[in-house]
Amino acid sequence: MSESNREPSMKEKPFQFYIQTIGRGQKRRRSLTQSEARDAMQMILAGKVTQMQLGAFLMLIRVREETPEEVAGFVEAIREKIPPPPCLVDIDWGSYAGKRRQLPWFMLALTLLARKGYRIFLHGIVGNESHRLYTQEIAERLNWPIADSLENAKQHIEQSGYCYTPVEQFAPDIKTLMGYRDELGLRSPIHTLARMLNPFKAQLSVHGVFHKGYDEIHQQAAALLNDPLTAVFCGDSGEAEVRPDRKTEIKMVENDAESSPDRWSFFLPKTFLNADPTEKCIDPEVLMAVWRGQEKHPYGKAAVLHTMSLVLMSLEHLTLEEAVKQTEMLWENRL
């Protein structure tokens, strides 16, 4: 084939190609392949896309929701841009929603898991919604090390076993792209992929989603990304915190180099009387008082134990009864 007739590779195609692919009429449009999504995100990260193109691209995908292949391709492109230093991590935990009604009880679960010896990389964002409580404030109150880079995160994890890292310190493009929500008024695929960054390829990656259906997208995308072990569920306010007042389905995927990805689900039972949906308490002092044993909070304790149980069932292959027994002991011995 002559040079003039050669079909251009994806990377040689203009960004308009990707907008046209997902935005044509109903009969001609289609979703992007994983490779196309990776190439499109590479162009975005390289600054080769105009603001108008970027807004159109994000909202076209938002209208019909991102596919697992698109999410996997986007994550691949971002991971390529933020290669981490080698570091053994047991648990990767993304926190990108903020809490609206209940306190971030999962932070007490993570602190107890760190005391148990698990190496934890916690990452997230501080949004600008004043009615939400974001994770970094609680991490600081609990004296979590705050890293300013992946190299610094590695140092903290090797020294202390855990740390929190704002996403802008290792993937600033994610913070910028998530900020488009303020102008566009809608979430975008960036809110999905941020939870899946897992830069250190931790043994277990835990994702909380808000809308049912996105747990399936995360599960399928994780299978495509070949991450070791992923747990996804609909958590409180979209954070990775199990609600004890609801029966919760945990969607799992495990990748083994010698076989195809294994996907399955298990359920954590409802063990708490329905929480009042109008009740609202996001006062950090309440969480800290419960942590210090100065106050009791039955719902908060149940959320901590359920969230810890999820991790122990996933990593240690415990039954629910075995996991609850361990978490009760960790909770009682925290003081």
**Residue 47's domain is classified under what CATH number?**
1.20.970.10
Structure tokens at 151: 């190299």
**Count of C-beta atoms within a 10 Å radius of residue 267:** 11
DSSP 228-245: SEEEEEE-GGGSS---TT
Distance CA 268, CA 321 (A): 11
Give 179-233 pLDDT, tens digit per residue.
988 888 888 899 999 999 999 999 999 999 998 889 999 999 999 999 999 999 9
Q: Give the structural domain span for 234.
A: 91-332
C-beta separation of 99 from 237 below 8 A: yes
Total Cβ atoms within 10 A of residue 63: 9
Of 53, 81, 109, the last residue of a domain is 81
Is residue 5 situated within a structural domain?
Answer: no
How many folded domains does the chain comprise?
A: 2
Domain boundary among 21, 50, 81: 81
Beta bridge pairs of residue 204:
91
Asked if 70 and 34 touch (Cβ cutoff 8 Å), the reply is yes
- Domain co-membership, 117 together with 211: yes
Query: Do 123 and 159 fall within a single domain?
Result: yes
Whether residue 153 sits in one domain with residue 20:
no
In this structure, the answer to whether residues 66 and 98 fall within a common structural domain is no
DSSP state of 86: P
| Per-residue pLDDT at 230 | 98
d(CA 316, CA 176): 37
Whichever domain contains 299, its CATH number is 3.40.1030.10
Residue 8 has pLDDT above 60, yes or no: no
Query: What are phi and psi for residue 241, nearest 5 degrees?
Result: -135, 120
Q: What local confidence, expressed as pLDDT, does residue 13 receive?
A: 77
